[in-house]
Amino acid sequence: MSLAMTLHLLAAIVWVGGMFFAHMALRPAAAQLLDPPQRLPLLLKVFDGFFPWVWLAVILILVTGSWVLFSVFNGAATTSVWIMTLVGTLMAAIFVFIYAVPYHRMSEALQAGELPKAGEAMALIRKLIGTNLILGLSVTTLAVAGKYSGF
Ligand code: HEM
């Protein structure tokens, strides 16, 4: 249980912290200083580096969370843990969609030199990462506040 929860928390920190940095600091700085021909390849490289860690984080969160929920708690969990399970699964689905659709599209468009198409894919990735960031911060708040208030 302690190992599973440590991995669960480390994975949440890497995923949510990475999204916070990318969304709140890196992207606005790149938008201010760089034009699309420089900005879009930079952001693609950032995703190339970050997304393998997100895959690992998503797998760890789902495996450790489900293990604690079903093997340790035997499915008898508080409402906040059930909401976490639902929202966590939604976040994972959003990430898989980002990876499979707009990230793939952005990579192909940049290889073909189609900047407007890459820009469109990037705009979708930005919205979806923004959504997952809000969900991740909310679910973390709910998980911790829920645990210490018994919700
Ligand atoms: C399928 C998805 C998930 C499942 C099944 C799950 C399950 C669990 C379980 C069973 C606990 C232990 C609760 C307790 O000790 O009372 C827990 C704790 C926690 N989870 Fe999740 N979780 C999931 C997704 C997430 C996500 C996506 C995040 C954040 C991005 C997250 C953040 C946390 C945090 C911060 C705690 C620690 C609460 C504390 O001990 O103070 N979980 N989770």
Instruction: Look up the pTM and report it.
Output: 0.94
End-to-end alpha-carbon separation of the chain, Å? 20
Q: Which residue's CA is the closest to the ligand 1 atom numbered 1?
A: 85
* Nearest protein CA to atom 6 of ligand 1, as residue: 65
Q: Which protein residue has the closest C-alpha to ligand 1 atom 19?
A: 143
User: How many structural domains is the chain composed of?
Assistant: 1
Do the beta carbons of residue 132 and residue 19 sit within 8 Å?
A: yes
Predicted confidence band at 150 (pLDDT cuts at 50, 70, 90)? confident
Model confidence pLDDT, tens digit, residues 83-119: 999 999 999 999 999 999 999 999 999 999 999 999 9
Residues 24-83 have pLDDT tens digits of 999 999 999 999 999 999 999 999 999 999 999 999 999 999 999 999 999 999 999 999
Show Cβ contacts of residue 134 under 8 Å, excluding neighbours closer than 6 positions.
Answer: none
Residues 128, 98 contacting (CB under 8 angstroms): yes
Tokens describing residue 125: 């990735």
Distance of CA 31 to the CA centre of its chain: 21
Enclosing domain of residue 37? 2-149
Fill in the DSSP letter of residue 77.
-
Ligand 1: centre distance to CA 124 (Å): 27
